[in-house]
Structure 1
């Protein structure tokens, strides 16, 4: 296993294509100056990097966001948001919160190639067009919900719609809009008690809205035409208890896994939105009723006194260790802790809150347990490989990346040391089919890249633009909240003035020809020619100049 050199920096953010990694460079000097450097590194060669000077103090940066095309980077702080264009690093854009009448900036994220969504702490939201500095108010989003109140459509053309959840007059509303649209926003009232989150299907055909766990109808499914299905479709009048906790779509959008607070997972078919199977995590694993070749293999990790790790195959029946000695009554600690599909929907990996050290891998072909892995410590997160459907990685918070091939159940998981001090979080780097895989191991102050198949040299062809000297940089445009659109447009630097008018518009030419005709003919002839000539000119206008500037107003 090859590993990169450690790179010091915080707020690590990987570009959507997996080519670059951005972070705020740590200041190793002994003075009290702030860390005002943004470092962009190659994902497959972090030692190759470029630093950009930023105006925001590094200690104030709360998050870093990339645009979908890897061109823009947004640095968010409570008072300001700074946007850097990697194609032209000298040109910066700053969004100033002014007097903070809407509260602090809570977050910012890109919803298009050049459109930035900003959200204030009190729920107010706005989409900014970075090319024109024009802002579109979105109203009040549901910031107190447990899940994400907005999401961009996963697939589609270069311009994709955004779905948002808002709360107006004690009613939930679902809004779908295009970031580039200047038309008034149209939102629809939805029949939810208190919507918690929304989620697009991977194919972009459905929008699922999760209601509060105490609602009789837990999930609402929508299409672009409006409401489509609900689950359960016939809720009980005597509904008590908690319902759906979260949902997960399969990569092909054929299945939905609904995680419940009672520890069950309901699998729905997206054609009819009816249950196909119900998965239940039992404290005792016993598949004695199944043939021996259909029983799930159970791998259990053991750690010796010298910290050597190995796996043994446990016979059935077996009882995974419980995570807590006493049952919890907190909703966040009940039911299914995590459920995630692999990229083609053939496997589903789950964890139960009662047995956090145990991973259950279910086969969607047989609707039964395929492999069960019990770790020495609690599992923190599971990650399926972005392209290899059988490879899963899980993180137990011990600085080890465990890799397991679900297609080869006779081989136990393989632990890989990250050699990063502390307890790094692990994630696969985004990649395209054919490229080598890589794992990001990041802490709050440093990161390192692991290469299971070696570094991918083909990804180093893309260059990072070098920043120009500070004296040659133009003044950064500022989008000040509270200023009018006209003043925002005037603040943009680098915009070219309107070109000088070199010839009269078509309307002016028509008026000039009419006046010349009036001067030559008598009054009766002028009256007849006026009507006939204008009919002819109007008919020719659509053919000659359908986008004439006079038609804009």
Structure 2
């Protein structure tokens, strides 16, 4: 493992989508660092009125701009050369603050969801124009992303709203965001929508309380097919009779498969082209080791964190709720395909310390990794196939990252504790893959004070350009700026939102388009 020197960070530090830059937000400026060289390449001074807590910090899709969102204002700036600046000012009150702020499908589009779900505002920074849609169905920070999706390629926006007790789905123009088509889906209480990666289908799934129902629509809003749950003999049919419906849908990167999880221990794999079930992955209560399955019973101790193979039947540790009335949740909590779409990693709600890895070609378990702490996250490498990264919630695991691939004897551990100066006091940690082309894989890891990057290469691999690097910052005192960029360069956009906007024009357009689509 080749490790970079630690560099100063903050609670708001983010990698660019293309993996070339790291942006860190400090009280008075943005600090941009190059990933290949670790050199400071830009410092962007923020306006003096940027004060208070920051609840959104994000790169644009092209990795050229950054968004900084506060309660009453949103700033978008160019990461390099100070060539663009835009400000969205949002009048707020003590009870009306945005719950979600993020980039849209392009660098010039920003989405703002108001509290209590009153409106979803779509801002075009290139034209200083905004479109507001009333009554988005989901508005909380955790659920709002389930209510809209951008079609890959064409960038059409699919949006779910709810009025008079009925769900409404609308398709919006990729540039103007005018409504082109809208309809009432055949749902009682839809829980989300998404586009498949090839843009062929718009997928909408029903509430779990309404049983199994997943609807597949064409891009122009025509219903192609509905999946109504598993068919054939089921040993646990009573679970389905009780309405153990859909809780998540996950398409594969190649758009050939869709994994549908419900409130049972099963995950259903659908052929995305024909919308038919091709296999069913059943998480066993008793796992029998064999040549094709790696079963890791967990690290042997807090200091070694080594894995061993199980030699006899084992069971995944189950979660028991505390005695304060906590409800026991069941079913698949998360699922993710690897970049080749041939492996699927899952985690069950009732077994939060276990990661299950499935071979989708044979529809069999490939590995079961059991930890001594709950899994906080897992993610496949975006480009390298069959390479998985995992992290755990416990304090004993706060500086550890676990990597797994099929050809290894078990997970390998990256321990960053000795490489970060304040590893025990630096607060919450974050980890992610660096989307850097070529081998070896690169991991980004940090806390609220320092960040570091490391390759997953062995000692015999070719050293990276980081070896022998000494970080040279232009300024280590981030309260002061040695080089002050000018605030007058580039274009500036200042968009104002009335506290009580007149939405009559938008509403009329929406109603007209809806009637045309019936």
TM-fit CA distance, 1:108: 2.1
Q: Is the contact made by 1:147 and 1:196 (CA closer than 8 Å) also made in structure 2? A: no
| Residue-by-residue CA offset, 1:480-501 (whole Å, 9 max, x unaligned) | 113999xxxxxxxxxxxxxxxx
Q: TM-score by structure 2 length? A: 0.80
| Residue-by-residue CA offset, 1:73-113 (whole Å, 9 max, x unaligned) | 11111100111123552642111113559932222222223
What secondary structure is seen at the aligned counterpart in 1 of 2:298? strand
| Residue-by-residue CA offset, 1:178-222 (whole Å, 9 max, x unaligned) | 341264554222122222222221112112122221013432221
TM-fit CA distance, 1:13: 2.2
Rounded to whole Å, the distance in 1 between the matches of 2:255 and 2:125 is 33
Q: Is the contact made by 1:254 and 1:269 (CA closer than 8 Å) also made in structure 2? A: yes
Q: How many residues align?
A: 458
Q: Is the contact made by 1:255 and 1:270 (CA closer than 8 Å) also made in structure 2? A: yes
**Residue 121 (str. 1) matches residue 121 (str. 2):** no
TM-fit CA distance, 1:448: 2.1
**Residue of structure 1 in register with 2:133 after alignment:** 138
**Residue of structure 2 in register with 1:61 after alignment:** 54
Higher helix share: 1
Rounded to whole Å, the distance in 2 between the matches of 1:255 and 1:329 is 38
**Residue 170 (str. 1) matches residue 155 (str. 2):** no
TM-fit CA distance, 1:364: 1.0
Rounded to whole Å, the distance in 2 between the matches of 1:477 and 1:140 is 27
Q: Is the contact made by 1:142 and 1:149 (CA closer than 8 Å) also made in structure 2? A: no
| Alignment partner of 2:152 out of 137, 150, 155 | 155
**Residue of structure 1 in register with 2:97 after alignment:** 104
RMSD of aligned Cα (Å): 3.3
Alignment of 1:472-491 (within 5 A): 472-473=488-489, 476-482=492-498
Q: Which ranges of structure 1 fall in alignment gaps of 5 or more residues?
A: 26-34, 461-465, 486-553
Q: Quickly say closer, same or farther: Cα 1:252–1:264, change in 2 above 3 A.
A: same
TM-fit CA distance, 1:474: 7.7
Q: Quickly say closer, same or farther: Cα 1:376–1:240, change in 2 above 3 A.
A: closer
After alignment, is 238-247 or 334-343 more displaced? 238-247
**Residue 417 (str. 1) matches residue 415 (str. 2):** yes
Rounded to whole Å, the distance in 2 between the matches of 1:259 and 1:330 is 23
Q: Quickly say closer, same or farther: Cα 1:297–1:131, change in 2 above 3 A.
A: closer
**Residue of structure 1 in register with 2:263 after alignment:** 261
TM-fit CA distance, 1:242: 3.0
Q: Quickly say closer, same or farther: Cα 1:483–1:264, change in 2 above 3 A.
A: closer
**Rg larger for:** 1
Rounded to whole Å, the distance in 2 between the matches of 1:472 and 1:249 is 45
Rounded to whole Å, the distance in 2 between the matches of 1:394 and 1:383 is 7
| Alignment partner of 1:430 out of 407, 428, 435 | 435
Q: Quickly say closer, same or farther: Cα 1:172–1:101, change in 2 above 3 A.
A: farther
Q: Is the contact made by 2:11 and 2:448 (CA closer than 8 Å) also made in structure 1? A: yes
Alignment of 1:50-449 (within 5 A): 50-55=42-47, 56-57=49-50, 59-86=52-79, 89=82, 91-98=84-91, 103-111=96-104, 112-123=106-117, 124-144=119-139, 146=143, 148-153=145-150, 155-156=152-153, 160-181=155-176, 183-184=178-179, 186-225=181-220, 226-232=222-228, 239-286=241-288, 293=291, 295-304=292-301, 307-324=303-320, 333-397=329-393, 398=397, 399-406=399-406, 408-409=407-408, 411-419=409-417, 420=420, 421=423, 422-432=427-437, 434=438, 436-449=440-453
What secondary structure is seen at the aligned counterpart in 2 of 1:318? coil
**Residue of structure 2 in register with 1:38 after alignment:** 30
TM-fit CA distance, 1:380: 1.6
Q: Is the contact made by 2:195 and 2:201 (CA closer than 8 Å) also made in structure 1? A: yes
Q: Quickly say closer, same or farther: Cα 1:247–1:446, change in 2 above 3 A.
A: farther
Q: Quickly say closer, same or farther: Cα 1:471–1:402, change in 2 above 3 A.
A: closer
| Residue-by-residue CA offset, 1:496-530 (whole Å, 9 max, x unaligned) | xxxxxxxxxxxxxxxxxxxxxxxxxxxxxxxxxxx
Rounded to whole Å, the distance in 2 between the matches of 1:183 and 1:245 is 31
Q: Is the contact made by 1:175 and 1:187 (CA closer than 8 Å) also made in structure 2? A: yes
Rounded to whole Å, the distance in 2 between the matches of 1:318 and 1:474 is 62
Q: Quickly say closer, same or farther: Cα 1:114–1:102, change in 2 above 3 A.
A: farther
TM-fit CA distance, 1:169: 2.1
Rounded to whole Å, the distance in 1 between the matches of 2:485 and 2:343 is 52
Rounded to whole Å, the distance in 2 between the matches of 1:335 and 1:393 is 22
| Residue-by-residue CA offset, 1:152-185 (whole Å, 9 max, x unaligned) | 44631xx521221111222111122234126455
After alignment, is 335-344 or 212-221 more displaced? 212-221
Q: Is the contact made by 1:102 and 1:122 (CA closer than 8 Å) also made in structure 2? A: no
Alignment of 1:532-543 (within 5 A): none
Question: More relative contact order in 1 or in 2 (CA 8 Å, sep 6+)?
Answer: 2
